[in-house]
Amino acid sequence: TLEIPRADWQCKLVVIGDSGVGKTSVMRRFTDNEFSFNFVATIGIDFKVRTIKVKEKMIKVQIWDTAGQERFRSITTAYYRGAKGVIIVYDITSLKSFSHVNNWVINFNRWAGDDVQALLVGNKCDLEDQRVVTKMAGEKLAKEHGMEFSETSAKDCTNVDIAFMRILEKIVEKH
């Protein structure tokens, strides 16, 4: 018989970061194990769900994705409401997206709750020949803001589950 996993607990994560860094791709890789060079951008706010075992508990993870409104001013309380974790994504081939991480930190510090865990993700690590942000720079920035850190490739499926597990374990530990 087919067993539908029963969740012990639900948890909302939100994904933020500049447009084009791979937020939708990282989320889709995690929830549906899919990748495409042209996911159609939906308008507004979208979310996907995956139930996963974290520290012996089944967690129904709801991941919210900004769709085409990646300006700091348009992401406020409504988006963060009830979120237990924030994932900031930049692109390791884009210095601009990395330099904007500080603005995204300011944004979630202002609008998200106090007890949110944060994870910094340097995505597109398959494009090593185009890399402009070192792994050390990413790690350093994450440490400065008390965030977990991972480099991922949504395309090659590198580290995506590991990155999500890193923040989910922190969240489960706290609750």
Q: Binding ligand GDP by CB under 6 A: which of 21, 75, 112, 120?
A: 21
Q: Does 46 bind ligand GDP (CB under 6 A)?
A: no
Among positions 16, 154, 165, 167, the unique one binding ligand GDP when judged by CB under 6 A: 154
Q: Is 25 in the site for Mg ion (CB under 5 A)?
A: no
All residues at 6 or more sequence positions from 146 whose CB lies less than 8 Å from its CB, including other chains: 118
Token pair of 25 as six digits: 């791709």
Length reported for the chain: 175
Q: Smallest distance, Å, CB 67 to Mg ion?
A: 5
State in angstroms the smallest separation of the CB of 20 from Mg ion: 8
Nearest CA to 25 out of 133, 131, 156, 136 is that of 156
CA nearest 74: which of 44, 109, 34, 116?
Answer: 44
CB of 19 to ligand GDP, least distance (A): 5
Confirm or reject binding of residue 170 to ligand GDP (CB under 6 A): no
- Is the separation of the CB atoms in 13 and 62 below 8 Å? yes
Q: In this chain, which residue has its C-beta nearest to ligand GDP?
A: 22
Could you say whether residue 153 binds Mg ion (CB under 5 A)? Answer: no
Count Cβ atoms below 10 Å from residue 165 Cβ, excluding itself.
19
Min dist CB 92 to ligand GDP, Å, is: 9
Q: Is 37 in the site for ligand GDP (CB under 6 A)?
A: yes
Site for ligand GDP in 114-143 (CB under 6 A): 123-124, 126-127
Q: Which is nearer to ligand GDP, 91 or 148 (CB)?
A: 91
Q: Please state the three-class secondary structure of 113-126 as a single string.
A: CCCCEEEEEEECCC
Residues 38, 161: Cα–Cα separation, whole Å: 22
Asked if 31 interacts with ligand GDP (CB under 6 A), we say no
Closest of 47, 86, 52 to residue 167, by C-alpha: 86
Residues that bind Mg ion (CB under 5 A): 23-24
Task: Tell me which residues touch ligand GDP (CB under 6 A).
Answer: 19-25, 37, 39, 123-124, 126-127, 153-155
